[in-house]
């Protein structure tokens, strides 16, 4: 199995926040506390990680006040989550990196242990969370959650090449490697765990559920 000392957590907070009117999403409050701080706290509570970093491109001092090391994108022009993956892997000092977005304040406390168990037992390169979502027909489907990944840091060279060739889609890159999907659909799993808040209205709605 993978020791928590071998896993670094990375909170992805480097986006433009366009659908929130351009505000820094990770610093918006959820139940009185910044979203990114909720994420950091839940990673710490759940165990499974030895160290936590934050990928942010503005308000760096505010994120540093959370007690984590903060790194901006290595790629220019807000190149998306894979730019955060790349930055995290470049600064990671452990063999494994787990990535989570800053806008899911109810992420599973057992996220990292379950991803780590799947990656180790199936000898995979990447373990990606999957969760129930209701499709346009009202049917529940288990869908991948690409920003929730545990990956081997020695994939860095592959990711550098992929991004240098213009690649920006997480699932297009993970498809190049042995990736295992880890469903979070057990009876005790919170159906809101992977609810992300793209707008301020969605944020307030999640607070009230």
Domain span including residue 197: 4-207
* Number of folded domains that form the chain: 1
The predicted-structure confidence for 92-147, as pLDDT tens digits, reads as follows 999 999 999 999 999 999 999 999 999 999 999 999 999 998 788 888 899 999 99
Output the domain CATH number for residue 89: 3.90.550.10
Residues 6+ apart with CB under 8 A from 70: 53, 54, 55, 56, 60, 63, 64
Q: In this structure, is the dihedral angle defined by the CA atoms of residues 162, 163, 168 and 170, taken in order, positive or negative?
A: positive
Sheet holding 96-101, edge to edge: 69-71, 51-56, 7-13, 96-101, 140-152, 126-134, 179-183
Residue 89: how many other CB atoms lie within 10 Å:
23
Cβ contacts of 100 within 8 Å, gap of 6 or more: 9, 10, 11, 12, 39, 43, 107, 111, 147, 148
Please give the Cα distance from 174 to 124 (Å, whole number): 11
Q: Is 199 in contact with 20 (CB distance < 8 Å)? A: yes
Please report, in tens digits, the pLDDT of each residue of the chain (209 residues total): 899 999 999 999 988 776 677 789 999 999 999 999 999 999 999 989 989 999 999 999 999 999 999 999 988 776 789 999 999 999 999 999 999 999 999 999 999 999 999 999 999 999 999 999 878 888 889 999 999 999 999 999 999 999 999 999 999 999 999 999 999 999 999 989 998 888 888 888 888 87
Q: State both tokens at 90.
A: 């470049």
């Amino acid at each position: 199995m993978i020791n928590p000392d071998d896993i670094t957590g990375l909170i992805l907070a480097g986006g433009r926040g366009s659908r929130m009117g351009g505000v820094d999403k990770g610093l918006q409050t959820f139940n009185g506390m910044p979203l990114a701080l909720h994420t950091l706290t839940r990673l710490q509570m759940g165990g499974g990680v030895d160290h936590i970093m934050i990928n942010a491109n503005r308000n760096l001092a505010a994120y540093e006040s959370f007690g984590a090391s903060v790194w901006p994108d290595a790629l220019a022009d807000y190149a998306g989550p894979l730019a955060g993956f790349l930055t995290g892997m470049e600064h990671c000092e452990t063999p494994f990196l787990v990535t989570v977005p800053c806008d899911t304040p109810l992420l599973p406390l057992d996220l990292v242990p379950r991803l780590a168990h799947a990656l180790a037992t199936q000898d995979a390169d990447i373990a990606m969370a999957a969760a129930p979502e209701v499709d346009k027909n009202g049917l529940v489907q288990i869908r991948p959650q690409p920003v929730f990944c545990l990956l081997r840091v020695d994939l860095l060279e592959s990711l550098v090449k992929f991004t240098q060739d213009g690649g920006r889609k997480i699932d297009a890159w993970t498809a190049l490697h042995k990736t295992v999907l880890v469903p979070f659909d057990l009876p005790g799993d919170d159906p809101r765990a992977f609810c992300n808040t793209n707008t301020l209205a969605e944020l307030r709605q999640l607070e009230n559920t």
